[in-house]
Structure 1
Amino acid sequence: MTRPILPDMTTLDRRFLLRGAAAGSLLASIGGVANAREAGITVPSVAQPVPMENVRLLSSPFNDAVEANIKYLMFLSPDRFLHNYHKFAGLPVKGEIYGGWESDTIAGEGLGHYLSALSLMYAQTGNVECLNRVTYIVNELAKVQAAQGDGYTGAIMRKRKDGTLVDGKEIFPEIMAGDIRSAGFDLNGAWSPYYSLHKLFAGLLDADKYCGNKKAIDVAVGFGGYIEKVFAALDDEQTQKMLNCEYGGLNESFAELYMRTNDPRWLKLSQRIYDKKVLDPLKAGEDKLANFHANTQIPKLIALARLHEITGDASDAKAASFFWQRVTQHHSFVIGGNADREYFFEPDTIATHITEQTCESCNSYNMLKLTRHLYSWSPDASYFDYYERAHLNHILAQQNPKTGMFAYMMPLMSGTAREFSSPENDFWCCVLTGIESHSKHGDSIYWQSDDTLFVNLYIPSTLNWAAQKAAFQLDTKYPYDGHIAFKVTQLAGAKTFTLALRIPAWAANSKILVNGKPALATSAKGYALVRRKWRAGDVVTLDLPLDLRFEHTAGDEKVVALLRGPMVLTVDLGAAEDKWEGDAPALVGADLLAGITPVSVEQAVYKTNGIGRPGDMTFKPFYAQWERRNATYFSKYNDAEWAEAQVAYKAEQARLKDEAARSVDVMHLGEMQPERDHNLKSEISYPVIYRGRQGRDARTLGFFSFEMNTQRDGKDVGPLILQATYWGSENNRVFDILVDGVAIAHERLTGRQPGAWIDVDYPIPLELTKGKAKVTIKFDPKEGKTAGPVFGVKLFTAAAAGTTA
């Protein structure tokens, strides 16, 4: 294995500035030397995670999540996940196929994630039933592969033009013949087939890594041979065309398969699965992420990170590091998640993307994976400042521990509630990464390098540090309480090693004691380093101040969120099942922190006093509001700014009132009753909701149409204008708008007004409406494109109400 080439750490400058302030306070409080180098103690140049089987969680919200996940894993049926695998191999089917995505053309993805989750859970807990299920699934897959006869071991489906669902294996001969058709997520009638296949490869590799199942590698090698033949039939141009369709981390799997088998064919294949359009700009240090589907890209960078570790290619490391820095510092929300409606947007525009479609959970799952790679190359606490942020505030928020169910999105728009999966009929990608995330909460608490032990996450747990034949216990109520105790519970004799405790960038005046006395500690890269001769029974205590602070969005200092230590706080707006129609809360005052007082410090509950608008409000930990509506981001004003904002609000209300007076008919797309009332018809068209507005789109080869009234009191009102509402950031949407079969507009949405709603007016020729009580409006996408989404359509007169043109 090639020694990793360290990335340029200057990309972390903002975090280092914060870190410097914390380090100064740390040294002042513990009386340490000026820096670690002067003391001859340094942070090691590389690190590895302590194997998860050597870590056991103690009572905490993280352990609650693991226990809830075990129940769900045991509820799920291996045979139901295996349904298509058995069916398409001609073997007896043993269980009914699951619903949701598992019954769609992405079928089979669930089994791979399930195999990974079981393997991880076995390592995390030692649960023997998890091991038994892993063994059973791998054995069944070996039977499937033998029955297929050519190495293929898939379960994807393909939708033919007549709408029938068939074995997706039939797309591969077409692809090998050069017939490659994709609109981004569809490949020859299958939904992201390589993405689904990657999950199976990842599951097989995890079965080997965590459960020692070598048969899993045999199955992976056989299936890899089939995929290798598909790629071998294509030239570079055809390969790039095929890779326009989401392929997950398939290249990472082949890189890892190379490391397990030492067969160079897998490394060659891994390096060939390379999306030039996305990855070349990142290697050049260019942020061109806007309008790319976020979770499609993150696994590609994880794969480059893994390839760098194998080959030492510095350009791979540069791309992965640059991507991480841009996403975490310029594209991420306060909870550590990223993207809006699953897509990256322009950097430093967070404030214009606070919607109910923020933060796909898969994205954070993958960003944490990428963070682990980068940290291992050059340990620095700033990586785990981000990791902790996303792990606590997004990943832990994603699973409702009462039910064990998972949220797809983590909505940050005021008044929205999380929507959780059902046990048997969803299997969204985020459900499946969720069962993995909540099987491994102990995988990054402790890291090691020679005789240095890093403590990166303060989660109650026990540790067996096999390298030093030592055992430890970490006890804390963090992040509700800043006191952390780390005890050496077992050690033969006395042994010298370094304990590296992460001091978060937000922490000031931290205090470290060893056996109740001030520790001789040094500081480097965000760590307090304590090196001494340790004995069983030694106890290190760390006290971190959990002060309140506001954090503004990247690019807009007027939009803020409230944090306490690593924990994001949110305003409780009522039960999820209760409707909420209020205005988004705001904060008004010259000194906002002074206007917040504790209700319960132990439970991290606070209230505002006089600074809340429209009234005072109560803050609680964001992650734990699984069944509540929240407000997390706030516009902040001084008194003069608030008065001005109210004037603008009243002016907008007057405009809307005038427009309503001129309206002849209004179509609320995406709402069941209005669509029925207007006789909506559609194909390959779906309702959507975004920023509190409902709408509808139509995908390629589809359409949607509906009827609208054109008269008042049975009389013509003159020329009419059709107005459609779009989100101004929409890009590359191309469609026609027809009235009674006649095209009145050819629309191309090109991101003409990013971050804002836009109303586009289309005058209707009078001859199309004259003498008609109704007309049919149709939105018709061009091939390979999407129509909309359209968030409402109005017909109104060109002149003031009551007059004719």
Structure 2
Amino acid sequence: MKITLTLLLLVVLNNQAIASFRKEPILNDSLEAYFSLNEVRLLESPFLSLQQKGKEYLLWLNPDSLLHFYRIEAGLPSKAAPYAGWESQEVWGAGPLRGGFLGFYLSSVSMMYQSTGDAELLKRLKYVLKELQLCQKAGKDGFLLGIKDGRKLFKEVADGKIKTNNPTVNGVWAPVYLINKMLLGLSAAYTQCEQKEALPMLVRLADWFGYQVLDKLTNDQIQQLLVCEHGSINESYVEAYELTGEKRFLDWACRLNDRAMWLPLSEGKDILFGWHANTQIPKFTGFHKYYLFTGDQRFLTAATNFWNIVTQNHTWVIGGNSTGEHFFPKEEFAERLLLVGGPETCNSVNMLRLTESLFCQYPDAAKAAYYERVLFNHILSAYDPEKGMCCYFTSMRPGHYRIYASRDSSFWCCGHTGLESPAKLGKFIYSHKKKNAEQENEIRVNLFIPSILSWKEEGVELIQQNCIPESEQVNFILNLKEKRRLVLRIRKPEWTDKATIAINGKVVRPFLDRDGYWVINNVWERKNTITLNLPMRIYTENLVGSGRYIALLYGPYVLAGHLGKENLPVTFWGKMNNTAMNKVDLATVPVFTVPAEQIPTCVESVSAAPLKFKINLKGFEKIVIEPFYKIHFERYAIYWPISY
């Protein structure tokens, strides 16, 4: 790698091309923007139910237990015992991920407050920030982590003693990752909830790591440090620059870009085989953010190539990727499908963050369709309907099942990111450009989720109502303060091919733009209705790289079959254990014995609400099929064997 990089730099110098790498930062006014979470309210749907469960858990958690290790490291007495699981117990010989949950708690409470307006959430946020202020003040140097002897650890690193693997630095589990998550949490408190005290805390922590550690290391030593999982630490430093305008943060961000990933991906190389998936994904959100503030095209290219490679070569039908946490060649999907560990929920959460970032620059239906596939089928299905706890792995093995985190004894990484997803379900439904090229306001509809958009700044209210997949109709009510022109862009979903659109009762044929959105550029009355009919059908998708397994879909939803409750565990809520281990013989799973193109004709609806199907083939007589997200606490099949 050192030789390759040296040669690359020599070529650049010889061709006097360095200037081509450095361009002006991308102006924010030219980007697509998401509405603030407090401008979008969810209506009755499975997504609202998930949001409510997420809020319940945030309010159930004891902030003082999450603050335990921060107070201890600051020399202050603890107010409550820490939680069990990854928070305080030995894991894989790397120790606990002490205090790792709190950064996610900050960002999740901030977003959930914006999404729901629940004043108790803001009260909790303010309390935690006050406590963290006390911890940082007691330490006097800006340090703000729960890592045992964290200052000593990073002093060793700054002195050049760096022994890294994944997931440890000098035997400590992912310490830079924990800095990243605390910085992101403080940023969310500041940007989402206007908690002004969060920004100085963020700056002091970022400066502590920058001055006390990064400035004392060579670039090669920093690259060695980045071998260990570090989240999107590069993103956090770009964000510190964005919030303060202080160039030192952008300079540190440059040094925190992992060369082992951005360089080959900027060259279009798929080198992901064998890499730990969730260690890599967040880096690319950081690469894209770095591009936005520097104009360095290589980092845009790396992020875009990575997204394309993962979505095309490494993704299961539910939108998740990897098995057992690692990427593998597409030729191995049929083999990996048989393993009990399927796609990790963390991976999908972070791929959605990357999609959100890339979409802001190039909004198109392909990115929105991927977002929909992941959100509707992996994220929505990952939470149990009783307690709202998130699973770690969603096995793709036919006839398998899931286990979920416990409230007080797991705190796995997927429970960390699992806090955030219910808090931001309204983020991607709508987006907008402040003004388009013709200086007209526009709203983009990306997802079909019942909700109310209140764009008070422009005097616009857009209400979306639907019961997909039980109903093919989507109704919008557009209310304006006054008669005016507004551009409405509605995504044409790839799962429908005979859609109709009516405006105020009159059928129209809007222009379909090159990005896959219907464009309705009207002068609207104060009250308007837009009605979409989106016919849905059963269709199939082969397993990547194999014709031996096939999945069924209906509209935006992946379908799965109920396969009973044989040999299931006593409880579905794990503690330290995060993998469902009780397999059944694959011979018990029915096999499709007709060609793939004939399978949709064998599927028959048996109930419209709730939506359920049966399969009219031998061996499937007792199998009920419905959207995967509805199946919990029993065995299921997403992929079916096919042999004819």
Is 1:212 matched up with 2:194?
Answer: yes
The amino acid that maps onto 1:627 is: F
2:463 is paired with a residue of what secondary structure?
strand
Question: Partner residue of 2:185?
Answer: 203
The yes-or-no answer on 1:343 pairing with 2:326 is: yes
Give the superposition deviation at 1:288: 0.4
RMSD: 1.8
Cα separation, 2, equivalents of 1:576 and 1:366: 34
Partner of 1:493: 482
**2:605, 2:614 within 8 Å by CA — same for their partners in 1?**
yes
Change (3 A) 1:349 1:452: farther
SS of the aligned residue for 1:324 comes to helix
Instruction: Within 5 Å, give how 1:213-228 maps onto structure 2.
Output: 213-228=195-210
Q: SS at the partner of 2:521?
A: strand
Alpha-carbon spacing, 1:588–1:520, altered in 2? closer, same or farther (3 Å): closer
Residue pair 2:320, 2:347 contacting (<8 A) in 1 also = yes
Provide the rounded CA distance (Å) in 1 between the counterparts of 2:583 and 2:160: 53
Mapped to 2, the partners of 1:318 and 1:188 lie a distance apart of 33
The percentage of aligned residue pairs carrying the same residue is: 35
Name the TM-score, length of structure 2 as normaliser.
0.89
Counterpart of 2:197 in structure 1: which amino acid?
Answer: K
Q: Structure 1 residues 308, 479: closer, same or farther in 2, change over 3 A?
A: farther
The residue number in structure 2 matching 1:528 is 518
Q: Name the counterpart of 1:139.
A: 130
Q: Cα distance, 1:465 vs. partner?
A: 1.8
What CA deviation, in whole Å up to 9, does each residue of 1:688-726 have, x standing for no partner? xxxxxxxxxxxxxxxxxxxxxxxxxxxxxxxxxxxxxxx
Contact preservation (8 Å) 2:262, 2:287: no
Q: CA deviation at 1:188?
A: 1.0
Aligned partner (choices 396, 401, 406) of residue 412 of structure 1: 396
Deviation per residue, 1:742-792 (Å, 9 max, x gap): xxxxxxxxxxxxxxxxxxxxxxxxxxxxxxxxxxxxxxxxxxxxxxxxxxx
Q: Could you say what secondary structure the match of 1:246 adopts?
A: coil
> Once the 2 structures are TM-superposed, how far is the Cα of residue 5 of structure 1 from its aligned partner?
9.8
Deviation at 1:635, TM superposition (A): 2.3
Q: Is the 8 A contact 2:538 2:603 kept in 1?
A: no
Q: Within the alignment, does 1:91 sit opposite 2:76 as a pair?
A: yes
Q: Indicate which of 607, 617, 624 corresponds to 1:618.
A: 624
Q: Deviations over 1:255-296 (max 9, x none)?
A: 101100000111111110122122211011100000000000
Residue 376 of structure 1 pairs with residue 368 of structure 2 = no
Q: CA deviation at 1:2?
A: 5.2
| 1:624 CA displacement | 1.5
Are the counterparts in 1 of residues 536 and 554 from structure 2 also a CA contact under 8 Å?
yes
Q: Quick one: which amino acid aligns to residue 431 of structure 1?
A: G
Residue 143 of structure 2 aligns with an amino acid whose one-letter code is: Y
Pick one of 289, 296, 309 that aligns with 1:306. Answer: 289
Q: C-alpha offsets along residues 194-221 of structure 1, whole Å, 9 cap, x if unaligned?
A: 1122111110000001110121110111
Gaps of 5+ in 1: 7-43, 158-166, 639-805
Distance in 2 separating the partners of 1:2 and 1:401: 48
Higher strand content, 1 or 2:
1
Conservation of the 8 A alpha-carbon contact between 2:561 and 2:638: yes
Instruction: Map residues 438-477 of structure 1 onto 2, 5 A cutoff.
Output: 438-449=422-433, 450=435, 451-477=441-467
Who is 1:755 aligned against? none
Where does the alignment leave 5 or more consecutive residues of structure 2 unmatched?
1-22, 90-95, 436-440, 569-581
Call closer, same or farther: CA 1:3–1:599 in 2, change over 3 Å. farther
Task: Give, in angstroms, the shift of residue 518 of structure 1.
Answer: 0.7
CA contact (8 A) 2:190 2:198 kept: yes
Specify the SS of the correspondent of 2:207: helix
Match of 1:599 among 598, 606, 609: 606
Q: Per-residue CA shift, 1:217-258, capped at 9, x if unaligned?
A: 101111111111211111122111111111111111111011
Instruction: Give 1:581's match in structure 2, choosing from 575, 581, 584.
Output: 584
The CA distance in 2 between the partners of 1:411 and 1:347, in whole Å, is: 17
Q: CA deviation at 1:411?
A: 1.1
Q: How many residues align?
A: 590
**Would you say the 8 A contact 1:45–1:379 is kept in 2?**
no
1:365 aligned residue: 349
The structure where helix makes up a greater share of residues is 2
How far the C-alpha of 1:585 sits from its partner, in A, is 2.9
Measure, in 1, the Cα distance between the counterparts of 2:473 and 2:24.
Answer: 40
Once residues 394 and 428 of structure 1 are traced to their aligned partners in structure 2, the CA distance between those partners, rounded to angstroms, is 17
Q: Which of 73, 85, 107 is the aligned partner of 1:100?
A: 85
Letter in 2 for 1:343: H
Q: 1:3 to 1:535 in 2, by over 3 A?
A: farther
Q: 1:483 touches 1:544 (CA, 8 Å); kept in 2?
A: yes
2:58 is paired with a residue of what secondary structure? helix
* Kept in 2: contact 1:362–1:429 (CA 8 A): yes
Shift of 1:45: 7.0
Residues 45 and 223 from structure 1, CA distance in 2 versus in 1: closer, same or farther, beyond 3 angstroms?
A: closer
Q: 1:224 to 1:408 in 2, by over 3 A?
A: same
1:6-17 to 2 correspondence within 5 Å? none
Between structure 1 and structure 2, the one with the greater Rg is 1
Secondary structure, in 3 states, of the residue corresponding to 1:95?
A: coil
Deviation at 1:358, TM superposition (A): 1.1
Decide whether aligned partners of structure 1 residues 215 and 202 sit closer, same or farther in structure 2, where only a CA change above 3 A counts. same
Q: Could you say which residue in structure 1 is the equivalent of 2:615?
A: 608
1:215-294 alignment to 2 at 5 Å? 215-228=197-210, 229-294=212-277
Q: Name the amino acid aligned to 2:602.
A: G
TM-score in terms of structure 1 length = 0.71
Does the aligned pair in 2 maintain the 1:481–1:546 contact within 8 Å? no
In structure 1, the residue matched to 2:92 is none
